[in-house]
């Protein structure tokens, strides 16, 4: 799982170019980690990658990653997305039906290549 850093150290505002570069950053990091795992005996079919939604990225970057999962799909591994009950949903969409928005983001992730979803029950 990619983790860009603790939220307190990340910039709150980033340019559109930075959103694009987050894909490159996550891709390169996951590629390095999966290569390391394979070189150390982990079978390729046992590796699942996670772009780390909610871990050290801005809410806009999290959404951009979900919208562009196909870029990560080219690494050749199953993709896990854990976006439910994340604060980025409220930060992006404000006062909304969080359960409905969560369902929409889950469907977006599936449509864009997510293979495995970590879902929380929203009470």
Superfamily of domain 7-117: Dihydropteroate synthase-like (3.20.20.20)
Pairing of strands 116-117, 48-49: unpaired
Could you tell me the pTM of the whole model? Answer: 0.78
Task: Compute the chain's Rg from CA coordinates.
Answer: 15
Which pLDDT value is given to residue 68? 93
Residue-wise pLDDT tens digits, 27-48: 998 999 999 999 999 999 999 9
Domain regions of the chain by residue span = 7-117
Q: Which residues pair with 80 in a beta bridge?
A: 116
Which residues, 6 or more positions from 17, have their beta carbon under 8 angstroms from its beta carbon? none
Residue-wise pLDDT tens digits, 19-29: 458 889 899 98
Q: Are 121 and 78 in contact (CB under 8 A)?
A: no
Q: Are 73 and 61 in contact (CB under 8 A)?
A: no
């Amino acid at each position: 799982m990619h983790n860009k850093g603790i939220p307190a150290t990340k910039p709150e505002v980033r340019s559109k170019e930075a959103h694009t570069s987050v894909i490159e950053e996550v891709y390169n990091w996951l590629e390095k980690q999966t290569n390391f795992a394979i070189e150390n005996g982990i079978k390729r079919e046992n590796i699942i990658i996670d772009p780390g939604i909610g871990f050290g990225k801005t809410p806009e970057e999290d959404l951009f990653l979900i919208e562009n999962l196909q870029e990560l799909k080219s690494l050749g591994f199953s993709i896990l997305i854990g976006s439910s009950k994340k604060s980025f949903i409220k930060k992006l969409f404000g006062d909304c039906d969080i359960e409905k928005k969560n369902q929409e983001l889950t469907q977006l992730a599936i449509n864009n290549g997510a293979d495995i979803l970590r879902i929380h029950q929203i009470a």
